Amino acid sequence: MSHTHRYFEMLGAAYEVPSEADRFDAFLDAAMAYFFGDEDGNGQLAEDVPRHSGDDAKLESHRERISALIEEASRREVAGADSFHAVLEVSARTGLVTGNDSAAQLTGQTFPCRLDDLPLDSMAIAMIRQAKRTNQPQTQDRIVLTDVESDMEADRSRACLALIQRPKDLNDIVQVSLSYIHWSTELMARLRAAFGLTASETEILEGYLGNLSQKEIASKRGRALETIKGQSKSILRKTGCARMSDVVQLCASIAFLMRQLPSEAPTQSAETWVTPTRGMSFLNLPDGRQLAWYRIGSGSRPVLFVHGYMQGPFFTPDFLRRLRQADICLIAPSRPCFGYTSPSRTRDSHDQTVVRDALALLYHLGHTRISLCAHHGGAPHGFRIAKALGDRLGGMLVVGGTIPFDEETHLPGMNPMSRFAAAASRHAPSVMKMALSVGLPVYRRRGTTAFLKKQFARSPSDLETLDDPILREVLSEGLYHAVEQGTEAWTRDGSTVMADWRADLDSVTIPLTWLKAGEDTVISTEHVQALLGHRENVDLKILPGHALNLIHTAPDDVCEALAQIA
């Protein structure tokens, strides 16, 4: 297939994504075929692929148009969610019920109908009857969580919030507004914080909100019934409620106030996609920009930490505990476009800005001499900073670092996603930007776990780490950090990671330790050994059984190496 044919195949696939998000995978396949041909057999770039050092004007215009289509599709979806609001009006005199189209669709009823015909649970019906008997308008609205069973969905019920009102301006009318509620991860996290619940108690509360009995919760969670009963008492104590039904209604009221009412929430990821700010500070820079940086740990031995590409300055509790034991504190600036740090003035000045930001932070903190740890894709930046520090550099550690990129040698051995990123970053930044612009909204819906599974598809060791909820959360935070400001961080930093920065590596001659994951699917152990094996100043340590997530899966080795350089 010719380059022109592959180009239009990729473009056509991209235009299908706004109307059908599931087509993103087909677009990604077409984008890979654009670079590597139909078969992608040997991992080498197709000979007819054009090389662009900057943006492709034509492709940029298509990218902007597709982004606008995706934004419009998202806006329509939100509008559709907002319109899902079933309104019932119950006559206090006759008991007959009328409703709007949404109410008819939700309840499966033809209006008018009797109150007893509504597929609401007994508590909701009782509260509506109570409102009917009240002769005067209610001074306070009632909010109740009710299960709605529809004839059109006989095998399932939908948890809805029912807002029951007796408006002053509507004589003889009780108004009931029904809105579907999804007990999302974000909403449960807020309820957990509001009540001070443990993670286990939050899971049990989620069961009650799903209308499960204690036995059903115990069975679903794989726990003893007595454990569920004990933790239920703890939930009652913390919420100040006498009965679990009161807790459920309290949660319903909170959910109503938060307006967490999507119409098709099961297809939408509930993640916030917000970069964490714990331990973060800002530094105003001389060029008018702002640098966000993190202090990780409270030890007296500081180490400058240069974060990875997709993995930011976020760590597991186990890693932080080992930092405390070693009396180490990591000083971790976010690079331009990452997290909350301002972009560099131009794309070409990105690398120099990274170095200037790091030096400005160290000057601000009063560190005249400091050791440095570079993680993964932060390695090229780490060596440039080390070079700029000169004799102020104490020691240096590289954890799972990338190496100066050689296209012919390294490209074939990479996993498919990394190979695509390398080719796009080096030769077609506009393709990279299009993939990110099209893909980011898709994965905001699917969630970070779906993205990470795609990224780790060829790495069994890394896939296993996703079974750990703590590590999965840390990896997700790194992804939020990378896309907080959109796609530009990946474009700018990606070109740095996939460049030949051998001169920067050669410039650092002090003794340094390099930890290499034995099962890394991006850079092979053989290539790292070939590059570093003859360097007398490098202590290369291969850690078998670890892969891309080395810094999290081998905290003992990493913190021991940190302690040696701090």
Q: What is the pLDDT of residue 123?
A: 84
Which of 341-345, 366-370, 495-499 comes out lowest in average pLDDT? 495-499
For the chain, domain boundaries: 3-81+416-457, 85-180, 185-262, 280-409+491-565
Strand order in the sheet with 96-99: 113-114, 96-99, 86-91, 173-180, 153-165, 142-150
Helix residue ranges, H only, 37-183: 57-83, 101-107, 122-133
CATH fold of the domain at 185-262: Arc Repressor Mutant, subunit A (1.10.10)
Higher pLDDT among residues 164 and 71, named by residue: 164
pLDDT reading at 563 higher than 60: yes
Question: Rounded to an integer, what distance in angstroms lies between the CA atom of residue 350 and that of residue 534?
Answer: 31
516 sits in which H/E element: strand 512-517
Q: What is the pLDDT of residue 457?
A: 86
Q: Which of 316, 302, 371, 373 is nearest to 554 (CA)?
A: 316
CA dihedral angle for residue 258, residue 261, residue 267, residue 271, rounded to 10 degrees: 0
Question: Rounded to an integer, what distance in angstroms lies between the CA atom of residue 197 and that of residue 291?
Answer: 35
Task: Answer for the pair 146, 160: CB distance below 8 angstroms, yes or no.
Answer: yes
Which residue carries 């056509």 as its tokens? Answer: 12
Note the pLDDT tens digit of each residue in 459-471: 999 999 999 999 9
Between helices 488-497 and 429-446, what is the axis angle to 10°? 120
Give 446-452 contacts, CB < 8 A, sequence gap 24+.
446/269, 447/269, 447/271, 448/269, 448/271, 448/472, 448/475, 448/476, 448/479, 448/480, 449/476, 451/479, 452/476, 452/479
Tokens of 138: 């209610």
Percent of the chain with pLDDT over 70: 91
Q: What is the pLDDT of residue 121?
A: 86
> Three-state DSSP class for 16?
helix
Going 264 to 267 to 273 to 276, the CA torsion angle's sign is positive
Note the pLDDT tens digit of each residue in 210-264: 878 899 999 888 888 999 999 999 999 998 888 898 888 788 777 766 654 443 4
Q: What is the pLDDT of residue 102?
A: 79
Note the pLDDT tens digit of each residue in 81-125: 444 468 899 998 898 999 988 788 888 889 999 999 999 988 889
Which of 230-239, 394-403, 432-441 comes out lowest in average pLDDT? 432-441
Which of 157-166, 236-245, 256-265, 426-435 comes out lowest in average pLDDT? 256-265
CATH number of this structure's domain 85-180: 3.30.450.20
> How does residue 355 score in pLDDT terms, banded at 50, 70 and 90?
very high
145 sits in which H/E element: strand 142-150
Task: Answer for the pair 483, 435: CB distance below 8 angstroms, yes or no.
Answer: no
Give mean pLDDT, residues 130-152: 71
Q: What is the pLDDT of residue 142?
A: 77
Q: What is the pLDDT of residue 79?
A: 47
Which of 123-137, 502-516, 539-553 comes out lowest in average pLDDT? 123-137
Question: Rounded to an integer, what distance in angstroms lies between the CA atom of residue 565 and that of residue 304?
Answer: 11
> How does residue 169 score in pLDDT terms, banded at 50, 70 and 90?
low
pLDDT reading at 349 higher than 80: yes
Percent of the chain with pLDDT over 90: 46
Task: Look up the pTM and report it.
Answer: 0.67
Q: What is the pLDDT of residue 443?
A: 87
Q: What is the pLDDT of residue 475?
A: 95
pLDDT reading at 478 higher than 90: yes
Judged on CB neighbours under 10 Å (0-12, 13-18, 19+), 256 is buried
Q: Which of 463, 444, 442, 441 is nearest to 452 (CA)?
A: 463
> How does residue 184 score in pLDDT terms, banded at 50, 70 and 90?
confident
Which residue carries 């750990």 as its tokens? Answer: 468
Question: CA–CA distance from 286 to each of 106, 306, 348, 368 (Å)?
Answer: 59, 21, 19, 19
Give mean pLDDT, residues 354-359: 98
Which of 181-185, 207-211, 377-381 comes out lowest in average pLDDT? 181-185
Question: Rounded to an integer, what distance in angstroms lies between the CA atom of residue 245 and that of residue 538?
Answer: 64
Question: CA–CA distance from 104 to each of 110, 336, 409 (Å)?
Answer: 6, 52, 64
Give the list of residues 6+ apart from residue 469 with CB closer than 8 angstroms, or none.
none
> How does residue 138 score in pLDDT terms, banded at 50, 70 and 90?
low
> How does residue 514 score in pLDDT terms, banded at 50, 70 and 90?
very high
pLDDT averaged over the chain? Answer: 86
CATH number of this structure's domain 280-409+491-565: 3.40.50.1820
CA dihedral angle for residue 226, residue 227, residue 231, residue 232, rounded to 10 degrees: -40
Which of 186-190, 255-259, 391-395 comes out lowest in average pLDDT? 255-259
